Amino acid sequence: MYKVFVNDKPIILTSSLKKEEAFPTYIYKTTSLDEIIYKLRLGKHKGIHLYSTSLEKDWTDFKNAFKTISAAGGLVLNNQNEILFIYRGTKWDLPKGRIEKGESIEETAIREVEEECGITNVSIDQFLITTYHLFLQQGEHRLKETHWYLMNSTYKGELTPQLEEGITDVAFKNEKDTIEALGNTYANIRLVHDSYKNV
C-alpha cells in the first residue's frame, strides 16, 4: 500500500479490497489521475482508494506521471525524549528540505535539521519512513518524496528558527505538547510520528 496526499487527503494505492476508510474506490488502470486529483482538490472526496492488480508496477507508473522532488528530514529527540518541531505558516511541522546535488539523503536530513532549527550535535539513529504528497508548481503537479529519519541531539543551547524559510518558532515538545502540535500539522507528519511510536 502507498499513500500520496493531496491537500492532506490521501490517494491510497492498494492491491487489497479491504478498505482502510470509507473512501470511494477507483480502478487504477481505468482512472485518470488528473480527474481524481481534481476531485480531491475540490473537496468532493476526503480520500480515494486506487485499486491495483499489480501494485509495484502501478506505483512505478504513478510516480513516473509526475516530476519527483526528493527531500529529507528528521524527527529529532533530545535527552528528555522531547520532539523537535518547527512552526511555519499556520502549522507545526518537522524540519526537512530538498536534497542538494552531491548530497546523500542522510547528509541532507542532518543539514536541514541544523539549518532550520539552529541546532548542532545531531546524529541519525535509524530510518523511519518515506512520505509522499502532490503539490502545484508552475501550474503542474509535482510529487514530493520525503525520507524521514529518527535522530538524536545533545544540543542544549538556544534554538533559532530559520526565518528566511518562513519558520517563526522552533521548540522541543514533551508528550502532552506533542499531542497538541499533532492536532495542527499535516497528515504526513502524523505518519512520521506513528512510525516513530512503532519503533
Span 89-112, pLDDT tens digits: 999 999 999 999 999 999 999 999
Q: Give the pLDDT confidence of 4-58 residue by residue, as tens digits.
A: 999 999 999 999 988 778 899 999 999 999 999 999 999 999 999 999 999 999 9
CATH number for the region 68-197 comes to: 3.90.79.10
Domain with CATH 3.90.79.10 in the chain: 68-197
Whole-number pLDDT of residue 155: 97
- Counting Cβ atoms within 10 Å, is residue 158 exposed (0-12), middle (13-18) or buried (19+)? exposed
Provide the whole-model pTM: 0.94
DSSP symbols for 146-192 = EEEEEEEE---S-----GGGTEEEEEEE-HHHHHHHHTTS-HHHHHH
Confidence tier at 186 by pLDDT (50, 70, 90): very high
> Grid cell 481534481 — which residue?
38
Give me the helix-helix angle, 175-182 and 187-197, nearest 10°.
Answer: 150
**Is the CA virtual torsion 147, 114, 166, 108 positive or negative?**
negative
Whole-number pLDDT of residue 132: 98
3-state secondary structure of 21: coil
What length is written for the chain?
Answer: 199
Whole-number pLDDT of residue 21: 80
Residue 166 CB-half CA count within 13 A: 8
Residues 64-81, mean pLDDT to the nearest whole number: 97
- Counting Cβ atoms within 10 Å, is residue 18 exposed (0-12), middle (13-18) or buried (19+)? exposed
**Greatest distance between any 2 Cα atoms in the chain:** 55
Centroid of chain to Cα 121: 24
Q: Which three cell numbers stand for residue 17?
A: 479490497
Q: Give the pLDDT confidence of 116-171 residue by residue, as tens digits.
A: 999 999 999 999 999 999 999 988 999 999 999 999 999 999 999 999 999 999 99
